[in-house]
Structure 1
Amino acid sequence: MVTTRSSGAPRARGRFGVRRGTPNATGPTVRHPGGHPVGHRPGSADPTYPRPLAGVPQQRPFTRTDQQVHPRRARLAALATRCTGRATRLGDRRLVHLLGCLVAAGWAAAFPLVSNLGNQRLWGEVAAPAYLLAGLAVITLPRRVAGRVAAAVALLGAVLLPLGVLAAQGRHQSEVMVVERSARLLLHTGTPYLPHPVAVTDFNPYLPSMAVFGLPRAVLGDANPVTQVLGDARIWFALTFLGCLTVSWRLLRPAPQRSPLLPLGVLTGSPLIALTLAVGGVDLPLIGVCCLAMALAARERTLAAGLVLALACTLKWTAWPALPVAALLLWRVHGRRAAARTTLTTLLVGGAVVLPYLLTRPQDLKEQVVRFPLGLAAVRTPAGSPLPGKVLADLGPTGHTLSLVLLVLGGISVAGWLLLRPPTTAVAAADLLAAGLTVAFMLAPAGRFGYLALPVVLALWPRLAARSWRGRPVADPRTVGSTSLVATH
């Protein structure tokens, strides 16, 4: 028999004492993204059964909303995609490759005419014909092998041949001699600094870790041709540079992986790196270490990033801006703990290296590491390329002070840019570091054109590895209108 009840009769109570058919007192029904209430048994007759407990706070539901992309950002993304595609197609043309080889050959051929350094003249005399042969290989060989053969010819003629000749003869820039002497001093006296420098070559403008690259010479000596070459600090500069760039490529390269040998060969064989590698530039390991630090920070390798940054910051003081850049990258992408872990590791390890000399030999660090590179010591630094800061410093004390003021203002400007637009990718972090170093090198009272290789490689290599030419992530126009799950609280 079917029983009925009047409209005024109380409703029957179900499980948990909640009236059936009444709205939940605690808010709307909690539903899954699929639309069913929490606890609903698919196929049951009553979709509202069972109800949540009355008086128990319930989590707000997940809802599906369309991802809105700003039209201006979508246009920028589309423009960047078109420019990248055009640049890629242009870079595949033989004429562009030939033009690059001719420019490199002209650059190398200028050194025998304008340089007063014998090592640089020798490099130019050997490298210029090698670049011309690389250009000939570009236009005569089949396309599938032309690039590899041209890169191999440039490496052989612009790097290996002049490096081998100079290393066998014991010829190098004064920086190599300073590094090797600092290693011998470290082993015998416990400090890499001469106590009373009087000549240019007596000054050691590097931090203590740079002496590590001179240890092979201090241990092996130069009694025979083999140890003459293996003990050369330039070999270890080059190996550190190549190893760090290779690892950073592996970290930043999206799947599927592609070998870094060809890009690394082209970069190393270019005049930008080949000259520095052959004659002995101490900035090569710093370039590789900075690139590796940004890649490790982007991949949340916090401990490894801290150790690599500690190495960079104890090689030269110009690497110190890398620490705040990497810390902000970690903060934005991976959180405060990751940034704090990397920063603390860098400060502890770097402090353990520098602090003993800062406590026992503070005058050496002040005079040789700080005052000498800034042109404030009694002996003038040989770094004298006509950059803006150097030109101002040559005008007298007022110009020297003005260059230092501009250097500080430039550093403050880059720091403000870093805080207002903190990096979220390795490419953006490398761009910020490159901008800061460019300002420092351009406005410093003393500098060389060769120093600019560091910011150039920082701006170029992460882009090649990550296959991204944008410093900040911009929404892809193809994702406009896509949906995503977002939590509403």
Structure 2
Amino acid sequence: MAAAWAAVFPFIMAPEPHRVWGMGACPGYLCAAVAALSSRPRGRAVSVCLALGGAVVVPFVLLVLTGTAQSEVGVVERSGLLTLRQATPYLPDPHTVGEVTPYLPGMAVFGLPRAVLGESGTLPGALGDARLWCAVAFLGCLWAARRAIRRPAGGPSAVDGGRSAVGGGRSAVGGGRSAVGGGRSAVGGGGGASRGYAVGAFVASPAVALPLCVSGVDLPLTGLLFLALAFAARRRPVAAGLALAAACSLKWTAWPAVAVAVTLLAHHGGTRAAVRGAVVAVGGTVLLVLPSALLSPGPLVQQVFAFPTGRGPFETPAASPLPGRLLADLGPVGWYAAVALLLAGGLAVFVSLLVRPPHALVSAADRLAVGLCVAFLLAPAGRFGYLALPVTLAVLARLVGGAHRKEPAHDLVVRTSRPARPAPVPAARVAR
């Protein structure tokens, strides 16, 4: 399936970066499929490596060395240069759609290496490509999220519903059945390698490999949102708030994640943890966005909020035939109808958080994915590629966090198979 998907790009009127990716990814997927059918012990590992090499490494290196990318990569790199020159990433009076910066100021961080190392064409210039640092941020967030999920939470379990590891008077050491089932620990064990292969295969899939190679600007947002949910599931409000602040300073589409993470924190850590996480998230976002908002308030509003919703001076290139876009094309009445539906959908998701709050990483990621899907489908301007973000969140929650819903074995209640021994009776009492 992936090979067929990649094979289409070289033969259709797709942008050049997509065609280059397809020419490298299709052979890689085919070789990976052959290796997966092999009966050799390392067939799975070889298959994942071939898929990663063909769909990620080869096209990524080729595209970076030649400087071939989607237009948003140039926008991010220009915003980094503008930030160094004028402390704000927005041009005061853009003349073309290519001069518009539809991102919040945090995205300019990924353009700073290009501003420092210079243009592409040389090795130092290639190291300044924004896609490289977007990929580093995404993979770093996955690594940090996996460590956070495997790390024991302080106090009651923060992943499986917050039940105490001491309740019921049951022994935590006695031989017998583990609460994990079958005596298998939730951390480590034979499933660790399988989960690693699954994550590698997903990174090599078109849903991640294609944007990573041709654009990459949405991957840091995805990684930070997933990391924030992982910290919230482990009852770490400050860390979750910092990850949320970083994500919310990249794109305003990350803002709904604050509500999801806060409700997850409230479920596991109570009101105090939820308030701490919310204060850190909102305060951190304000600190990161406020300088540009004060230096160029008009351009920020026009380029970050009005332009993506189709109300700016230039028409947005995000014009996929999604329901919100089709309504907006009907005129002002259709545009207001799309916005009304968008607000109604957002309100419905918010009410669902109050009525049935998420209780674990997977349920929180699913709720955020639903909210983002509603936003992307009903927004007055959008594209199909945006839907990769909620899909990636939902899949990562199952691959990275699904196997760790339970606490590690040393923090869990272990049900003993033998009755507890009666307390010894004092000898003097027996003598009586």
TM over 0.5: yes
SS of 2:101's equivalent? coil
- Does residue 109 in structure 1 map to residue 7 in structure 2? yes
CA 1:361 to 1:339, structure 2 compared with 1: closer, same or farther past 3 Å? same
Q: CA deviation at 1:404?
A: 1.5
Q: CA deviation at 1:277?
A: 0.6
Matched-pair contact (CA < 8 Å) for 1:252–1:462: no
Structure 2 counterpart of 1:456, one-letter code: V
Question: 1:421, 1:232 → 2: CA distance?
Answer: 43
Question: Could you tell me which of 62, 83, 94 is aligned with 1:165?
Answer: 62
Q: CA deviation at 1:407?
A: 1.0
Structure 2 counterpart of 1:135, one-letter code: A
- Does residue 151 in structure 1 map to residue 83 in structure 2? no
Q: Deviations over 1:190-248 (max 9, x none)?
A: 11001011211111111111000111111111375211221001011111111111221
Matched-pair contact (CA < 8 Å) for 2:244–2:257: yes
Structure 1 gap ranges (5+)? 1-102, 471-478, 480-489
Matched-pair contact (CA < 8 Å) for 1:332–1:422: yes
Identity percentage over the alignment? 50
Alignment of 1:71-150 (within 5 A): 103-142=1-40, 144-150=41-47
Question: Could you tell me which of 385, 390, 410 is aligned with 2:325?
Answer: 390
Question: 2:84, 2:401 → 1: CA distance?
Answer: 41
Question: 1:432, 1:467 → 2: CA distance?
Answer: 15
Structure 1 counterpart of 2:75, one-letter code: V
- Does residue 256 in structure 1 map to residue 153 in structure 2? no
Q: Hey, what does 2:292 align to over in structure 1?
A: 357
Question: 1:249, 1:457 → 2: CA distance?
Answer: 15
Q: CA RMSD in A?
A: 2.0
Question: 1:349, 1:411 → 2: CA distance?
Answer: 23
Matched-pair contact (CA < 8 Å) for 2:248–2:285: yes
Question: 2:188, 2:403 → 1: CA distance?
Answer: 15
Q: 382-391 vs 237-246, which deviates more? A: 382-391
Question: 1:310, 1:293 → 2: CA distance?
Answer: 9
Alignment of 1:431-446 (within 5 A): 431-446=366-381
- Does residue 322 in structure 1 map to residue 219 in structure 2? no
Alignment of 1:227-246 (within 5 A): 227-246=124-143
More RCO (CA 8 Å, sep 6+): 2
Alignment of 1:407-426 (within 5 A): 407-426=342-361
SS of 1:424's equivalent? coil
Structure 2 gap ranges (5+)? 151-185, 406-414, 416-432
Structure 2 counterpart of 1:210, one-letter code: M
Question: 2:360, 2:106 → 1: CA distance?
Answer: 29
Matched-pair contact (CA < 8 Å) for 1:434–1:458: yes
Matched-pair contact (CA < 8 Å) for 2:120–2:129: no
Q: CA deviation at 1:263?
A: 2.5
Q: CA deviation at 1:469?
A: 11
Alignment of 1:299-378 (within 5 A): 299-378=234-313
Structure 2 counterpart of 1:107, one-letter code: W
Relative to the length of structure 1, the TM-score reads: 0.73
Q: Hey, what does 1:72 align to over in structure 2?
A: none
CA 1:205 to 1:219, structure 2 compared with 1: closer, same or farther past 3 Å? same
Q: How many residues align?
A: 370
Q: CA deviation at 1:261?
A: 3.7
Q: CA deviation at 1:348?
A: 1.7
Matched-pair contact (CA < 8 Å) for 1:170–1:228: no
Structure 2 counterpart of 1:389, one-letter code: G
- Does residue 219 in structure 1 map to residue 116 in structure 2? yes
Q: CA deviation at 1:292?
A: 0.3
SS of 2:37's equivalent? helix
Question: 1:283, 1:129 → 2: CA distance?
Answer: 26
Q: Hey, what does 2:181 align to over in structure 1?
A: none
Q: CA deviation at 1:367?
A: 0.4
Question: 1:370, 1:194 → 2: CA distance?
Answer: 15
Q: CA deviation at 1:169?
A: 0.8
Matched-pair contact (CA < 8 Å) for 1:240–1:285: yes
Structure 1 counterpart of 2:310, one-letter code: G
Question: 1:163, 1:409 → 2: CA distance?
Answer: 40
Matched-pair contact (CA < 8 Å) for 1:198–1:379: no
Question: 1:110, 1:224 → 2: CA distance?
Answer: 29
Q: CA deviation at 1:393?
A: 2.0
Question: 2:38, 2:361 → 1: CA distance?
Answer: 38
Q: CA deviation at 1:141?
A: 4.5
SS of 2:222's equivalent? helix
Q: Deviations over 1:78-115 (max 9, x none)?
A: xxxxxxxxxxxxxxxxxxxxxxxxx0011111222334
Matched-pair contact (CA < 8 Å) for 1:179–1:233: yes
Question: Could you tell me which of 431, 439, 464 is aligned with 2:399?
Answer: 464
Q: Deviations over 1:43-81 (max 9, x none)?
A: xxxxxxxxxxxxxxxxxxxxxxxxxxxxxxxxxxxxxxx
Question: Could you tell me which of 105, 130, 134 is aligned with 1:208?
Answer: 105
Matched-pair contact (CA < 8 Å) for 1:463–1:469: no
Q: CA deviation at 1:354?
A: 1.2
Structure 1 counterpart of 2:198, one-letter code: P
Matched-pair contact (CA < 8 Å) for 2:118–2:128: yes
Matched-pair contact (CA < 8 Å) for 1:249–1:462: no
Question: 2:75, 2:404 → 1: CA distance?
Answer: 38
Alignment of 1:274-285 (within 5 A): 274-285=209-220
Alignment of 1:43-62 (within 5 A): none
Matched-pair contact (CA < 8 Å) for 2:65–2:121: no
Structure 1 counterpart of 2:188, one-letter code: P
Q: Deviations over 1:420-461 (max 9, x none)?
A: 111121111111111100100111111122111111111111
Structure 2 counterpart of 1:256, one-letter code: G
Q: Hey, what does 1:11 align to over in structure 2?
A: none
SS of 2:42's equivalent? helix
Bigger Cα Rg: 1
Question: Could you tell me which of 68, 81, 88 is aligned with 1:191?
Answer: 88
Q: Deviations over 1:6-27 (max 9, x none)?
A: xxxxxxxxxxxxxxxxxxxxxx
Question: 1:201, 1:458 → 2: CA distance?
Answer: 29
Question: 1:387, 1:115 → 2: CA distance?
Answer: 21
